[in-house]
């Protein structure tokens, strides 16, 4: 997997709105905007500017709030600036001042001299921290691309996989006809968020919701079925592998043994669905989605069926003993 390269300039150029907007602007040190952000975390540099630089997390974004700015002003009023000069000796990616707070001109001059970007946000420190960490979790999440079709069925994110030509796109199209939603066709970009959630989305937002149907060509799902037939991303909760029916292969008929597939270190439930003429795949997938949701409520149809069979056999044996007049005492 290629190393993720993300710079301070990339951070400024993020086109985010609403509760994701960072509301950042650069007020000094613009020559340092190409500096790379390599650690997806934030540091409050209060200890550092007070002179304690042991274990200084200089690789992180340095966030200055009310307390840090007040201490900076105190140091400048006392003309005690040695710790601040030492602060800029480190290769700091950038400094961010919350609530449009402004450092002294001397601080800005040191930043310009060391080419350290100084950013300003209108947000409060806590709000900015939560937003930036959320953005970092997406940007630096492990990613890969998978061949398949990702569709949302009854709220479940289902990834259809299988050899080319097995009917993934045609099956997904029928599901869209039934009111379900397309996330991505052909190539799905997946990323691991929070260490245990696999999110899938299109690799290119401009062409992501087009589908290739053999014999028909390229169709635009948004134009044909409306904006409600697509969504930008979805957690992958079930993987269904479609394969040509093999008469020599023994397929699971009870579903007692749950299989899993590994995606970026996370185990996702896996089902193998044999394909042959006459099988209604969209109906099977809808039933699988509802059954998977039922499992999450603690109900497992396969296990309940097996337990009922065992009870029936046990009760039948007891009846046979009674009817045959055998004394069990």
Residue 182 has φ and ψ, to the nearest 5°, of: -90, 135
Q: Which runs of consecutive H residues, i.e. helices, occur in the chain? A: 8-13, 46-49, 66-77, 82-87, 105-114, 125-139, 168-177, 221-225, 281-296, 301-323
Dump the DSSP string for 168-181. Answer: HHHHHHHHHHTT-E
- Determine contact, residues 107/81, Cβ cutoff 8 Å: no
Q: Which of 101, 106, 186, 231 is catalytic?
A: 186
Q: Which of 161, 168, 180, 241 is catalytic?
A: 168
Residue 185 annotated in active site: no
What residues contact residue 49 under an 8 Å CB cut-off, 6+ apart? Answer: 68, 71, 72, 75, 83, 84, 87
Q: Which of 79, 206, 249, 253 is catalytic?
A: 253
Q: How far apart are CA 180 and CA 121, in angstroms?
A: 40
Residue 147 annotated in active site: yes
Q: How far apart are CA 258 and CA 252, in angstroms?
A: 10
Residue 253 annotated in active site: yes
Using alpha carbons, select from 299, 302, 233 the residue that is nearest to residue 271: 302
Tokens of 70: 């007040």
Q: Which of 25, 74, 113, 147 is catalytic?
A: 147
Using alpha carbons, select from 78, 266, 1 the residue that is nearest to residue 159: 266
- Determine contact, residues 156/289, Cβ cutoff 8 Å: yes
To the nearest 10°, report the CA torsion of 58, 62, 68, 71: 40
**Residues labelled catalytic:** 147, 168, 186, 253
């Amino acid at each position: 997997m290629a190393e993720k390269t993300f710079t301070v300039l990339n951070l400024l150029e993020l086109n985010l709105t609403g509760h994701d907007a960072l509301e950042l602007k650069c007020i000094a040190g613009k020559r340092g905007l190409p500096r790379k952000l390599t650690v997806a975390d934030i540091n409050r540099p209060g200890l550092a500017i007070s002179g304690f630089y042991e274990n200084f997390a200089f690789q992180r974004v340095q966030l200055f709030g009310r307390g840090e700015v007040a201490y900076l002003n105190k140091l400048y009023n006392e003309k005690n600036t040695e710790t601040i000069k030492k602060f800029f000796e480190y290769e700091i990616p950038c400094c961010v001042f919350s609530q449009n707070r402004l450092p002294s001109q001397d601080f800005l001059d040191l930043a310009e001299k060391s080419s350290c970007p100084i950013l300003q946000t209108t947000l409060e420190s806590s709000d900015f921290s939560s937003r930036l960490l959320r953005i970092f979790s997406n940007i630096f999440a492990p990613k890969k691309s998978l061949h398949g079709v990702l569709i949302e069925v009854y709220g479940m994110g289902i990834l259809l996989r299988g050899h080319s030509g097995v009917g993934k796109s045609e099956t997904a199209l029928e599901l869209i006809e039934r009111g379900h939603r397309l996330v991505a066709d052909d190539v799905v970009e997946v990323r691991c968020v929070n260490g245990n959630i696999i999110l899938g989305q299109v690799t290119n937002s401009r062409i992501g919701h087009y589908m290739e149907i053999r014999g028909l060509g390229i169709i635009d799902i948004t134009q044909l079925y409306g904006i409600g037939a697509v969504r930008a991303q979805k957690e992958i909760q079930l993987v269904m592998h479609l394969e040509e029916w093999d008469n020599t292969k023994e397929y699971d008929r009870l579903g007692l043994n749950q299989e899993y597939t590994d995606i970026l270190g996370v185990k996702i439930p896996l089902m193998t669905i044999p394909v042959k003429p006459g099988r209604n795949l969209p109906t099977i997938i809808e039933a699988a989605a509802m059954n998977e949701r039922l499992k999450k409520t603690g109900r497992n149809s396969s296990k309940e069926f097996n337990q009922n069979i065992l009870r029936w056999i046990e009760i039948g044996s007891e009846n046979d003993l009674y009817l045959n007049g055998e004394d069990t005492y």
